[in-house]
Chain A
Amino acid sequence: MNIFLEMFITFFKIGCLAFGGGYAVIAILQKEVVELKQWVGNDELTDIMAISQTLPGIIFVNSATMIGYRRKGILGAIVATFSSILPTFFLILILTFVIWGFTDNIFVHKAFTGILLGVTALILNSVKKTWKTAVKHYSDIVLALLATGLLLFTSVNVVFILLLMAGLGFGRNMYFMKAGGKQNEAL
């Protein structure tokens, strides 16, 4: 089979199966791309996941782009990115049309309230997971709370807040590197 067609089918399939966000998709990528297709090795996938999470944008799509690029250059990257987004793109548009008519219904409204509380629990769960990788020093907690405070209680644009936090975090890390030398390289 043509490699591009194979790529399209594989990433389209993963896009259809990718319930539960960025972290859940790691397991599916491992099975489809590493075990079945052997397009990248397991260690490569781990690196790809790590980089995808630190880049802006969507974790799954970033991973798809990287795997596509490794396998077949820029055209591979385009095919992988495009096919991984396609199912979500159409499904949300169709579903919003289908469900929207019912949203005035009291039961649908109540069900949505319940779902959003479930989503909140999911978000808190990813707060916990992110906490493990983001907080290595007490100053990280200060930075995180500062970002939360600015986001919730000021009308400063979120882009500026993020740039400010990135600057502060970068400065702090550079200072630690200078002060601690090798000892703090793991930071």
Chain B
Amino acid sequence: MKLFELFLVFLKIGAVSFGGGYAMIPFFETEMVSHKWVSLTDYVKVIAIAQVVPGPFAVDSSSYIGFKVAGILGALIATIALCIPSFTASVIITKFYAQFKKNKYVNALLMGVRPAVLGLLISAAYIIGIKPLFQVNNTIISLTMLKAIIVIGIGYYILNQKKIKVGTFTFMAASAIIGIVLF
């Protein structure tokens, strides 16, 4: 029963999670909270660990949540269910690619979804960067909060530097060191 529920929930996430990667965070968060599968604090830790694991971030989430709910079989079912909708869509689209590309209704829908993806990303930034700090101490403005916002700002600035290309590994290692020093 739990496996079936896992299958259905991840099938649903796979079918509606436009934007990929971090834009999927709000989808996972909603389902975890409503099913009480994994606490947000634990999931946030998984997001941190996922940074040193190569490959799609959504697979990190589905494997971990699936495993927590129903062991290795749960992990397998959650991950497979997550991939079924986009797998089917990818195969169909590749088959009828030429026709789809010219269809104005398809285009209007795909373009129409893009602003929503932007909204998903903005709320993902809030869920990961700001919300956990609110839970630690309930004051609106605290020193921790201020430090966090400064660190995020500097990180963002570094990522947007054209001259220096920082690898993901280096960037995450530096973030970890800054975390140890500042918090």
Contact = CB atoms under 8 A, between A and B. Distances in A.
To the question of whether A and B form a pair in one complex, the answer is yes
A41 interface: no
A90 B166 CA distance: 27
Contacts, number: 343
Contacts of A141: 115
Contacts of B123: 148, 151-152
Nearest to B104: A177
B112 A123 contact: no
A161 B57 CA distance: 22
Interface residues of B, number: 100
Contacts of B73: none
A166 B105 CA distance: 12
Contact of A114 (B23, B56, B122, B178): B178
A95 B168 contact: no
A72 to B, nearest CB: 12
A-B residue pairs, 10 tightest by C-beta: A114-B179, A169-B112, A147-B119, A57-B86, A118-B175, A121-B155, A88-B55, A120-B129, A165-B116, A134-B114
Contacts of A87: 54-55
Interface in A1-44: 15-22, 24
B45 A166 contact: no
A45 interface: no
B27 to A, nearest CB: 5
A181 B177 CA distance: 55
Given A114-B176, A133-B114, A143-B116, A69 B90 contact: yes
Contacts of A134: 114-115, 117-118
B118 A57 contact: no
A169 B64 contact: no
A125 interface: yes
A41 to B, nearest CB: 14
Contact of A15 (B54, B67, B107, B156): B54
Interface string B150-183: 0111111011100000011101101111111011
A52 B94 CA distance: 10
B54 A166 contact: no
Interface string B77-93: 00100110111011101
A92 B53 contact: yes
B46 interface: yes
